[in-house]
Amino acid sequence: MVLFFETFFECSFIIQVFLTECSLIREKQVMTENNEETIVPDEQCNLTSSTPMKSSDLENVESPIERKISIVECDGEGNPPIESSEETPPDLTPHSVAPRRRRSPRRPEVSASRLPLKVLNQIFQYLSLKDLRSAMLTCHSWNNALSMEDSDIWQQLLVQKLPEAALSDPFLFVELRSARKKLRAWYFAWNTNDISRNNYIRTNGFTVHRQPVAQSTDGVRGKRGVSQGVHAFDITWDGPLGTVAVVGFATKHAALHCVGYIALLGSDDQSWGWNLVDNVLMHNGVQLGVYPKMNNPPKYEVGEKIRLVIDCDMHVAYFERNSEFLGIAFSHIPPLRLFPAVCAVYGNTEVTMVYVGSPQMG
């Protein structure tokens, strides 16, 4: 839990500054999967602004998407930050380059928050994703600088993390228009470690391929599961369906492989699935009925885009096909961490999954 208080208490941080002689090359840090729930504060703040951000070149400015972004003074009270050289506060153990400690939260002695955008972009370019997260939570102007979806910072991380094949594919990210969203989709893509041994993930990182192994049903889960909020995953079945082709979601414990050709996803209480071949919903081994609920629902055509939406707050899940809402598929979903999943039986079939974030309502 990261909690934010208006008043800070005085503690003594000893902040070490490393100045290495060798180059501070942009590190390719592997993001450690952090599955614990951290509630983080809002990026979107409604404090009123007075002074706009100073910036010499606003070359990286892109109008942010529909969120309200307000540019604020750092000090919430409206006092301009004290820039004079104030004396060092008492009871410190200063490091040789220790930054001056703040005496009280309302009057920071130094304020880097008002650095111009270009400078901030340059600084943030050298940080890893984890540090960027910390930076985003630090103050409003940094937050605003980092919430620019297409700024160089995200582009650069995108190029680092995503495989070449994914970046050059024109159709993969049709729905996602910003670098940041694509980066996020990468973090939710199919999990190479959570996959049946008969499947593998193709070089673009987003498509799973089932090898032609006889008498086996194989599945895969996404890298990240969801347990709060509303999430949409665009799933496209790129290969032939075969006799059983199930799209759905599962907990961490659902099986991803079994012998024979069965609807693995939905065979126990750890998974929920929609079999595209006969349009039947499955959970706990029970067929829950035809979906969508109409006479003769249309068969799935290869290449159609199915959007799986998991609403963890209302505990329902539903599917959309080509932007057409098909009805609620599953309700009373338990409040567990749920991963998007598919299972397939046809050899050399492929399924692509792209995380698109929160679906646009209405």
Partner 1 sequence: MTPSLKKSPKIENPCFKLITEDKEEVLISELAMKHSKFLTDLVSNFGFSPSENGEKNPIQIQKVTGPTLKLIVKWCEHHKNDPKIREMDYCTITEWDQQFLQLGNKAMFDLVGASNFLDVRILFTISTKTIATWIKGKNPEQLRAIFGGTAPSEKSENMQKRKRKIE
Strand 207-210, strand 245-250: pairing: unpaired
Cis peptide, bond prior to residue 335, ω within 30 of zero: no
By the rule CB under 8 A, 126 interacts with partner 1: yes
CA distance 236 to 349: 11
Cβ neighbours of 223 (radius 10 Å) = 18
Please identify, among the stretches 21-29, 209-217, 257-265, 268-276, the one whose residues bind partner 1 according to the rule CB under 8 A: 21-29
Which is nearer to partner 1, 82 or 262 (by Cβ)?
82
By the rule CB under 8 A, 129 interacts with partner 1: yes
Among 71, 89, 133, 269, which residue sits at the site for partner 1 (rule: CB under 8 A)? Answer: 133
By the rule CB under 8 A, 81 interacts with partner 1: yes
By the rule CB under 8 A, 60 interacts with partner 1: no
CA distance 313 to 298: 30
Among 30, 52, 63, 85, which residue sits at the site for partner 1 (rule: CB under 8 A)? Answer: 85
Please identify, among the stretches 107-115, 158-166, 208-216, 279-287, the one whose residues bind partner 1 according to the rule CB under 8 A: 107-115
By the rule CB under 8 A, 138 interacts with partner 1: yes
Which is nearer to partner 1, 153 or 351 (by Cβ)?
153
Q: Which residues contact 240 (CB under 8 A, 6 or more apart)?
A: 302, 346, 349
State the helix-helix crossing angle for 179-187 and 152-161, rounded to 10 degrees: 30
Which tokens sit at 45?
């703040």
Which is nearer to partner 1, 118 or 321 (by Cβ)?
118
330 with 260: CB under 8 angstroms? no
Site for partner 1 in 255-314 (CB under 8 A): 313
Among 1, 28, 30, 39, which residue sits at the site for partner 1 (rule: CB under 8 A)? Answer: 39
Among 49, 60, 89, 128, which residue sits at the site for partner 1 (rule: CB under 8 A)? Answer: 128
- Residue 167 one-letter amino acid: L
By the rule CB under 8 A, 360 interacts with partner 1: no
- Residue 297 one-letter amino acid: P
Site for partner 1 in 204-233 (CB under 8 A): 224, 228-229, 231
CA distance 214 to 195: 17
Query: Minimum Å distance from CB 352 to partner 1?
Result: 19
By the rule CB under 8 A, 316 interacts with partner 1: no
Left, alpha or beta for 36 (phi > 0: left; psi -120 to 50: alpha)? beta
By the rule CB under 8 A, 25 interacts with partner 1: yes
Which is nearer to partner 1, 134 or 192 (by Cβ)?
134
State the helix-helix crossing angle for 152-161 and 117-124, rounded to 10 degrees: 20
Among 53, 127, 172, 345, which residue sits at the site for partner 1 (rule: CB under 8 A)? Answer: 127
Which is nearer to partner 1, 194 or 304 (by Cβ)?
194
Among 53, 135, 148, 306, which residue sits at the site for partner 1 (rule: CB under 8 A)? Answer: 135
3-state DSSP helix/strand/coil % of the chain, to nearest 5: 15, 25, 60
Among 2, 159, 286, 314, which residue sits at the site for partner 1 (rule: CB under 8 A)? Answer: 2
Chain centre to alpha carbon of residue 53: 28
By the rule CB under 8 A, 118 interacts with partner 1: yes
Dihedral sign computed on CA atoms, order 164, 170, 173, 177: positive
